[in-house]
Structure 1
Amino acid sequence: MNGNSTPPSQDVVRFDAVRKVYGRSTTTVTALDEVSIGLRRATFTAVMGPSGSGKSTFLQCAAGLDRPTSGTVRLDGVDLSTLGERALTRLHRRRVGFVFQSFNLLPALSVVDNVTLPLRLAGRRPEKAEVDDVIERVGLAARRGSRPGELSGGQQQRVAIARALITRPAVVFGDEPTGALDTRTAREVLSLLREAVQKAEQTVVMVTHDPVAAAHADRVLFLSDGRIAGSLDRPTVEEVAARMTRLGARAGELVAQGGAR
């Protein structure tokens, strides 16, 4: 057995005592402070917190886009700290999908070519049935030949979701995937992510500031000052909003105390 991996576990992402510090000497900022948590397979997790709480750093470390200062991050059983840049790139291409707020599509490519790009980068030949299936799932069968500039924002995000799902990744990471969309379109995109979890048994981890978006998740994980500040299972919008209000008030108090010193 490969020394970098473990048998499949219930956790597709695992943090053990993860700490991430930016800066040097007296100007350091602790973005993550001894975080230990597991995110289970075939679930939809939303990550929330006030500005500066560490949620973006959490996502970047979980996805292997940034390396922790100390502690261990495992992704699909692989200890990311053991991987060099080439091995990490291979892992990203084969086992990770990304959906960003800004879509990040290539404007010169068609819907089909944007969707199949991860397969080509990974050296895999796209299978027509597989490509047709994922494009059908996101409702773009009639726009296969269109380029991003010919699509609405919601349609472009659908292309991005199809691109994230085409490699059948262990986990799809979303960074504010509905942040640039109107309410109705955002709901449609969230429903697609929810369907990917329920029907295709994908795993989705999404950073969001929106309680409505978070309420689509199985679990909402809250961060504050770089630490886990609790979680809610299958919460309502009102429950998420109330928790965020309390965390925001607490963060404001801490800032005020720091300024008074």
Structure 2
Amino acid sequence: MTENRSHPLSNARLDRVTAKQVPDTPQTRAPQYRLAFADEDFLCRPELRPVRLQLELLKPELALDEDGVESTVVLFGGARIPEPAKKDTARTQTLADLSRFYDETRKFARIVTEQSDGKKNVIVTGGGPGVMEAGNRGAMDAGGRSIGLNIVLPHEQAPNEYVTPELCFNFHYFAVRKMHFLMRANAICVFPGGFGTLDELFESLTLIQTGRMHRVPFLLFGREFWEKIVNWEALADAGTISADDLDLFQFVETAEEAVKVLNTWEDYSRRGEIPGR
């Protein structure tokens, strides 16, 4: 979105520059004199939280619109899962065994990107290490773009090197970040992970279950992992979810299997149908 240069009111960007050129006096040094939109201390006040929420919603939205990104394939998964070549560094044997999903993620992202026109089904990850890195890396392997939605955390200092720089964003609010994951989602793929992955999985499923988001392919990579972590059938047996809710997702093991599900779904969608489990 660009400013209308013929607008009769003064340009905000120009005023920001002009305001820095005023004489240095006690009055102009006072923080109260700063332009409100150029005053970082003011913008970080607790009372400005609603404004910051709106800014975090708008900045990536405008950038993705300007870059022509129409839809995405979302990849959720653990930051601690190493690539197979580095599985000896894993803190547990289970993590070392799960390293195969690094390769499956990378392969899946490569195939999806090869099938994409660069606007539809663009890979999006959390921009960090592990499964997220593998997703962005796979898109780069295919010569395509991918999105990284990072968040400020004490133990993660920078996005992985495979995120497309102009599609790399940083967030303060988890809630707004999760909105951006889902706003353009054509598919959601969840790889083994921890609390963050579980949070993303269940919020996404809840939105689909409650009709607040349209149904999309929802793929859980690694049946053995997910059935050990979550007793899905027990939820249905208890009546806390309906048996039909178990049809909202399906298990896959390989990149090729997942791509087949996505392509089949698209074929059904063109006919106005939703494939079964």
Normalising by structure 2, what TM-score?
0.28
**Bigger Cα Rg:** 2
Where relative contact order (Cα < 8 A, 6+ residues apart) is larger, the structure is: 1
- Give the strand-richer structure, 1 or 2: 1
Would you tell me which structure has more helix in proportion to its own residues? 2
